[in-house]
Structure 1
Amino acid sequence: MGEIADSYRRRADAFDRKVAAVRPGQWDNPSPCEKWTARDVVRHIIDMHGVILRPLGRRLTTAPTVDEDPVAAFRSARADVEAILDDPSLASTACETPTGTMTIEEHIDKVPSSDLPLHGWDLARATGQDDTIDPADVAYHWSAITGLPADLLEKFRTPGAFGPGVEVFGPEVPIGEDASPQDRLLAFIGRDPQWAPW
């Protein structure tokens, strides 16, 4: 396994623990993502796992839906992605993405893998869990996001720029200079670090 596969598994393990810890009555809780419930956060993560398979002509394996069994749905989707990461010929396949040509492995790293820590925070906040993001992921995201060209960052902040209904980042949230690295990251991508469901 390479570094990308290792990072994906670590992030997926952390997200899996959060999904498994959600109590039955919490799935309809609001989340920091406007208009999304806790269940919708997991649905989005699974949908993005499906999107990443398309350049290979693949689809997610048939599994229980997020409405039926969120844990089983996520575990099935991650298994599909891990199967690609475990196959060097598939992982190295080049594909076209909204941000340029890259390998499937790199696209996994930049989309579903990168989404896991951030949406893990959303799910944790929505359901009263520990919302600490691994410091390695905070540093990774901060470096990647603050290093984006201004025009691409603007595109990320423009609703619908990557397709109907797709919103990547919200407007930056003002935050104090003494904020933690995690809170600075969250504020930069449009999350209110003090958000609570009620």
Structure 2
Amino acid sequence: MITMYIPKQYRMDQDEAVQMMKSNPFALLITTHEQRPLATHIPVEIREEEGKVYVTGHIAYGNIQKNTLENNSDALLIFQGPHAYISSSWYEREEVPTWDYLAVHAYGNARILAWDELKSALDSMLTHYEAHRENGRLWDTFHPESLEKQMKGIVGFEIEITSIQAAAKMSQNRNDTDYKSIVTELEKSNEQGDIQVAEWLREQRKELFK
């Protein structure tokens, strides 16, 4: 199995990694076909049952990657969290710039969902994204024939996660002065990623920002 290089100080534990997956559920699904990597960007749902982590999603029926998802023990899902460029001009001493980021690689066993399982997975996804909306389009609001027609155009899958490698490279190596400077500068930005990284940094060293 390919591994992600993660220095010890940047490693996330599994609980943190799973929460990051749930907070950033638009993943990159990677498998191989005839020794060639295939990748699809898709929304997924993550659930935990009896100490195990499962990921469900679906891809287009016409996507050749569907042929790699049955009994595949080497499926990989990549989840990208907030990230931001960190200028070394924000440090006390001369240094090179870097990039702060959160990333999770989740490996597991993939299988194709049966028709009823796919219906349940789609119902769950609609509930997750639509239930809180005014006039949200939940499963029962669609005409059954329309749903069945749409379902014929997709293939559902489930991946039982067997290994998680997660990195939070978020300026842990910086002293308090540099750390505060990084947060201050990122908060001046209009970029969503910069703001999100600043929020994460503040949470990790709350005592600096009282």
> Normalized against structure 2, the TM-score is what?
0.23
Structure having the larger proportion of residues in helix: 1
Structure having the larger proportion of residues in strand: 2
Q: Which has the larger radius of gyration?
A: 2
